[in-house]
Amino acid sequence: MTKLPELSLFFPFWNEEQNIESVVKKAIPVIEKIADKWEIIMVDDGSSDKTPEIAKKLASQNSNLVATGNKVNHGYGAALKKGFDTAKYKYVVFNDGDGQFDFSEIDKFIEKIEGRDMVIGFRKKRLDNPFRHILMNLLKIWDFVFFRFSFKDIDCGFKLFNKEALEKILPLKSEGAMITTEILAKAKKAKLKIAEVEVNHYPRIYGDQSGGNLRVILRAVKESLILWKELNF
């Protein structure tokens, strides 16, 4: 297995008190094997449960763990932005904190990162409700029409970046679910080199998904129109 000189991993969390400890503890032995220097950043986006307290407890037990976040819930994009801003190492990877991706598959990403700026995952078989599948296909059409790019799985929550390349698309502005579209649209404009890798997807065992509710969808539409205006005018 190829080993990276340094790696920042961050997990976005929102009301994940039943997932956070197991997700982080499963990641530690993996990241120890694939990076000489590493950190795991736990980004809490204004949870109303015990997620922030658990994050602080874990950070107090291991100097490579960092607890940070937003005092008020702003959305998925806000959590990712906080993670990108906090990450300090040459390579940065994020992995959703709900246990639906297995971080041990990071080796697939590492194999493709040399000579590229980003490696993004696509789900082999998406294991969530049918409505989310419909939304994914609508997002593909929307992004192709407005931003002229096409990827197998735009909103997959498992992506690896070269930090130097990442800085070419910062700052990111989306606070909600449209953050992944913003990343890819700005990467396309900056002519970054992107590879795709297949990953497994697992059903959520604890907690609730929010990506399919009407408020999140309307916010995503608004953010995408703002992004289109920013990139074109």
Q: Please, what is the Cα angle at 131 between 231 and 225, to 5 degrees?
A: 15
CB 103 within 8 Å of CB 30 = yes
Contact between residue 91 and residue 162 where contact means Cβ atoms under 8 Å apart: yes
Contact predicate 90/114, CB 8 Å: no
Q: Which string of b and e fits 114-145 if b means at least 16 CB within 10 Å?
A: eebbbbbbbbeeeebeeeeeebbeebbebbee
Which tokens hold the place of 53?
């307290």
Domain layout of the chain by residue ranges: 4-232
Residues near 183 by beta carbon (within 8 Å), at least 6 away in sequence:
159, 169, 172
CA angle 10, 13, 19 (to 5 degrees): 100
- The C-alpha torsion from 80 through 194 and 144 to 185, rounded to 10°, is 50
Q: Which numeric CATH code is attached to 4-232?
A: 3.90.550.10
pLDDT of residue 133: 79
Q: Express each pLDDT in 102-114 by its tens digit.
A: 999 999 999 999 9
At residue 206, the 3 state secondary structure works out as coil
> What pLDDT is attached to residue 1?
64
Contact assessment for residue 106 and residue 67, using Cβ atoms and an 8 Å cutoff: no
pLDDT of res. 129: 73
How far apart CA 104 and CA 158 sit, in angstroms, is 11
CA 111/CA 106 separation, integer angstroms: 9
Over the chain (233 residues), the average pLDDT of each successive run of 10 is: 92 97 98 98 97 98 98 96 98 96 98 97 86 86 95 96 97 95 97 98 77 78 93 88
> Is 109 within 8 Å of 119 (Cβ atoms)?
yes
